[in-house]
Amino acid sequence: TDKDRGAGGMFTSCPPLAPSIPAAMLRGLLAALLVAAAAQLQVIGAGLPRTGTESLAQALTLLGYGWNTHDACNWPEKCHFAARIWMDQGNFTPLLEAVVDAKMGFVVDAPFCIAFRELAEHFPEAKVVLTVRDDSSTWYRSFAQKQQLLYETLVGDESPGGFTTFDFLKMGDTILYYMHLPQVKFDCDIYTDDPPPEMVVRCKQGYESHNMKVRQAIPRERLLVYNVKEGWEPLCKFLGLPVPSVPFP
């Protein structure tokens, strides 16, 4: 009844569940709970790795969106959700549960950027930010350099980023799934010694194709195509927030 609803239309109190409650009412209660959970995620970073996702994550944190999830697959459980279950079985539920359980205000970088469509469907109020580089060649050089560093860390000594071979071994084959995510999701077999020109072309095409998919899937009013070199103004305007007095990260 109206007395049972708060100002936002959500139930503020619920009667004890009993067999006599109509199925339609139960479905309504469940739907209300799902809406409440979905409201947690407010910004979806759809840009591929090496498109300024770290700067975006720091900016969103400064703007008050909560936990910084940049490079979230540095934690084995996130890799497990995204790489093994989602990539192998096509089951998106564990990744969705991870986002809800962690009460993430925003997500960026892999694997979340690859799951932009599913996240946008499950969190219909969340806005989408597609971070881009100046061009595909600029992106590829940066991406290839970072992926090579990950590979060298896996087979060698401690990396400048502080991860050791042991850190990666603790993740088991999960990290291998994550490292092959580019090949599986946008046809970029980056872990190839002396990559042939056609592979480089495929990687660049994968970058362009991903960006096009985001543009086609997300309505204009919900999407910001954004180069972090633009700074605070376009991001804050899109999010409806004042520009901070601190420099853009």
Mean pLDDT for the chain overall: 75
At 130, give phi and psi (nearest 5°).
-100, 100
pLDDT at 147 exceeding the cut of 80: no
At 194, give phi and psi (nearest 5°).
50, 65
**pLDDT tens readout for residues 7-52:** 444 433 444 433 444 554 444 444 334 444 444 899 999 999 999 9
Q: Quick check: is 89 in a domain?
A: yes
How many residues make up the chain in this entry?
Answer: 249
Q: Quick check: is 246 in a domain?
A: no
**pLDDT tens readout for residues 157-171:** 544 444 455 555 555
Instruction: Quote the strand ranges of the chain, DSSP E.
Output: 43-45, 106-107, 127-131, 223-226
Q: Quick check: is 160 in a domain?
A: yes
Q: Quick check: is 134 in a domain?
A: yes
Higher local confidence (pLDDT), 193 or 53: 53
- Owning domain of residue 167: 37-239
Q: Give how many domains the chain has, as a whole number.
A: 1
- CATH code for the domain of 227: 3.40.50.300
Gap between the Cα atoms of 242 and 244, Å rounded:
6
Q: Quick check: is 174 in a domain?
A: yes
Q: Quick check: is 206 in a domain?
A: yes
Write the burial class of residue 7 (CB in 10 Å: 0-12 exposed, 13-18 middle, 19+ buried): exposed
pLDDT at 64 exceeding the cut of 70: yes
Percent of the chain whose predicted confidence (pLDDT) is above 90 = 39
Q: Quick check: is 111 in a domain?
A: yes
Q: Which of 29-33, 53-57, 218-222, 240-244 has the lowest mean pLDDT?
A: 29-33
Q: Quick check: is 75 in a domain?
A: yes
140-143 long-range contacts (CB < 8 A, ≥24 apart) are 140/200, 140/203, 140/204, 140/207, 142/50, 143/48, 143/49, 143/50, 143/182, 143/188, 143/190, 143/203, 143/207
- Report the pLDDT averaged over residues 77-84: 56
